[in-house]
Amino acid sequence: MSPSSHKNIPLRTAASIAVANMVGTGVFTSLGYQVVDIQSVFALIMLWVLGGMVALCGALTYGELGTALPRSGGEYHLLGAIYHPSLGFLAGWVSATAGFAGPTAIAAIALGKYTATVFPDTPVNHLAAAAVVLFAVIHGYSVKLGSFFQDFFTLIKIAVIIVLVILGWNIAQPQDISLVPVFSDWGVIASPAFAVALVYVSYAYTGWNASAYIVGEMKNPQRDLPRALFLSTLLVTVLYAALNYIFLYTVPMAELAGKVEVAFVSGNHILGPAAANILSITISVLMVSTISAMVFVGSRITQVMGEDFRIMRRLSIWSRRHTPVNAIIFQTFVTLFFIYSSTFEQVIVYAAFTLMLVTTLTVAGVYVLRYRQPGLERPYKTWGYPVTPAIFLLANLWIMGYVILEKPVESLIGLGIIGMGGLVYFINQRWIAPQ
C-alpha cells in the first residue's frame, strides 16, 4: 500500500521530528570532547553558531530540492533523481545504517548512561536495546500514535532545555567567562582541533533535514517542507548556543573535559546532587524523543528503497495501519548491532563523516538540477542562492578534510559502510534485477 495516499503528517509533526532528530545525544554529550582541545569560550560557542548557520544553509537548499522532487526518502530519492540511481542507493544505504541506525544506537546508549548516573547497576546496553524495541513497536503499530508520542516528547524536551538555561543563568557562583573574543581565539578557530570539534557539532545538528525524508506523507509539502526545515533548524541553533553557554557558565572546563554526561555535571552545580539526579533521569527519558524520531524517519528510507530495488523488496511492505513495518524491523536489528558492537565516540565520528559526504552531494545537486532542468516547477527557491549552498559545501569539505587527516580509522569505517552499499547495489543489478 503506497504512502502517497495517506498524507497525514502536518507541519507541526514534520517540524517536531526534525527538532527531535537534532536535539538529542549531541548537545548533551559533545562539549566534554570539545573542551579537551579547545579552552576558548568564544571559540566553543562559535562552534555551535557556525554549525547552526551551515545547517540553515543546507535546510534552505533542501527546501527547494524537496518541493521540486516531492517523494519520501530524503537523499536516497534526491541523489537518484538528480545524478544516478546508484548514488541514490548508496545515500539510502548510508542513511539506513550509519545515518539513522547508528545515531539511534547512540541516543539509546546515552539514555542508558544518564540513567546509570542515578542507578549505577543499570545494564546500559540492555536498557538501550529495550528502548529501541519499544519505539519500533509503537511506530510499527500506528502513525497517529507515533506522531502523538513524537510531538509530546519534543515539546517536553524543549521545555527542559529552556528551564535549565534559566536556572543556570541565575546560579549563585558562576564561572568567570566572557564571550568577547581575544586575538588568540581566531587562531583556535582556524586550527585542526576546531575543525574536528565541528564533527561533533555537525553530528548534533544531524536531523536538520529529517522533514525531507517524510515529504511524501506530508499534508501540504510544497508549503510545509521549507517551513519545517527552516523553523526547526533556527530554533535548535538558538537552543544549542544558549545551552552550551550555560554548561560553560556553571562548570569549570577541567571538570567537563572528557565527560559524556555534561548536562548531569552542570545540573549538579545548578541544582545540587539530589536535583541533578532528577535532571539526569529527565534527560534520559527525553532521549526517547530522539530514538522515536530516528526510528520513524529511518524506516521510511529503506521502505522507499524496497519499492525500487528487488534485493530489498520485502522492506517496501506497508501494514494495514499504513506503517512500513518490515523496514522498521530491519532498522531495529541494525541499531541493536551498533549498540552491542561499537563505542560511543566511534559511531559519532563515522556517522557524522558519512552523512556529511551524502548531504554535500545533495546540496551540490541544487546547481546540477537548475542547470539540467531550468523549467522544472519549483514551489520554493533557495533563499540566498547561489551563496547559501556554497557556504554549506565549503564548510563540509573543510570539515571532512580534517576528519580524514585526524580520524583516519573512523573515516575508513565510514567509507567501508559506503563500500558495503556499493556491493549490495552491484549484486542487485548484476544478479537480482535481471530475474
Q: Is pLDDT of 281 > 50?
A: yes
**All 3 cell numbers of residue 124?**
546500559
The topology under which CATH files domain 8-428 is Amino acid/polyamine transporter I (1.20.1740)
Query: What angle, rounded to 10 degrees, do the helices at 101-118 and 273-308 form?
Result: 160
Q: How far apart are CA 425 and CA 58, in angstroms?
A: 27
Mean pLDDT (the chain) is 86
Asked if residues 94 and 322 have their Cβ atoms less than 8 Å apart, the reply is no
pLDDT at 303: 86
Q: Which of 39-53, 113-127, 187-201, 273-287 has the lowest mean pLDDT?
A: 273-287
First CA to last CA distance, the chain = 23
pLDDT bucket at 4, cuts 50 / 70 / 90: very low
Q: How far apart are CA 396 and CA 55, in angstroms?
A: 10
Asked if residues 148 and 16 have their Cβ atoms less than 8 Å apart, the reply is no
What single-letter DSSP state applies at residue 165? H
Percent of the chain with pLDDT over 90: 38
Q: By C-alpha distance, which of 172, 186, 232 is closest to 15?
A: 232
Task: For residue 399, count CB atoms less than 10 angstroms from its CB and return exposed for 0-12, middle for 13-18, buried for 19 or more.
Answer: buried
Q: By C-alpha distance, which of 271, 263, 261, 258 is closest to 246?
A: 263
Between these two residues, 242 and 299, which has the higher pLDDT value? 242
Which residue's entry shows cell 538540477? 369
Q: By C-alpha distance, which of 24, 268, 10, 18 is closest to 160?
A: 24
Q: Which spans in 262-342 are helix H?
A: 262-271, 273-308, 325-341
Q: Is pLDDT of 166 > 90?
A: yes
* CA separation, residue 105 to residues 284, 338, 421, 425 (Å): 14, 6, 20, 25
> 400: phi > 0 → left, psi -120 to 50 → alpha, else beta; which?
alpha
Percent of the chain with pLDDT over 70: 95
Query: Rounded to 5 degrees, what are φ and ψ at 218?
Result: -80, 145
Asked if residues 212 and 91 have their Cβ atoms less than 8 Å apart, the reply is no
Q: How far apart are CA 35 and CA 127, in angstroms?
A: 29
Query: Rounded to 5 degrees, what are φ and ψ at 9?
Result: -105, 115
Q: How far apart are CA 394 and CA 183, in angstroms?
A: 24
Asked if residues 290 and 130 have their Cβ atoms less than 8 Å apart, the reply is no
Q: What is the pTM of this model?
A: 0.82
**All 3 cell numbers of residue 10?**
502536518
Tell me the residue type at 139.
H
What is the arithmetic mean of pLDDT over 243-272? 88
What is the arithmetic mean of pLDDT over 146-154? 72
CB-CB neighbours of 43 under 10 Å: 23
Across 287-317, b (16+ Cβ under 10 Å) vs e yields: bbbbbbbbbbbbbbbbbbbbbbbebbeebbe
What is the arithmetic mean of pLDDT over 366-381? 95
pLDDT bucket at 3, cuts 50 / 70 / 90: very low
Task: For residue 417, count CB atoms less than 10 angstroms from its CB and return exposed for 0-12, middle for 13-18, buried for 19 or more.
Answer: buried
Q: How far apart are CA 262 and CA 78, in angstroms?
A: 37
> 367: phi > 0 → left, psi -120 to 50 → alpha, else beta; which?
alpha
**All 3 cell numbers of residue 217?**
506523507
Torsion angle of the four alpha carbons 144, 146, 148, 149, in this order, in degrees rounded to the nearest 10: 170
- Domain map of the chain by residue range? 8-428
**All 3 cell numbers of residue 232?**
526547526
Q: By C-alpha distance, which of 15, 24, 25 is closest to 345?
A: 25
**All 3 cell numbers of residue 389?**
549552498
Q: What is the pLDDT of residues 386-396, one digit of tens each?
A: 999 999 999 99
Q: By C-alpha distance, which of 25, 418, 358, 342 is closest to 200?
A: 25
Cis before 174 (ω within 30): no
Task: For residue 133, count CB atoms less than 10 angstroms from its CB and return exposed for 0-12, middle for 13-18, buried for 19 or more.
Answer: middle
CA 247 to mean position of chain CA atoms: 21
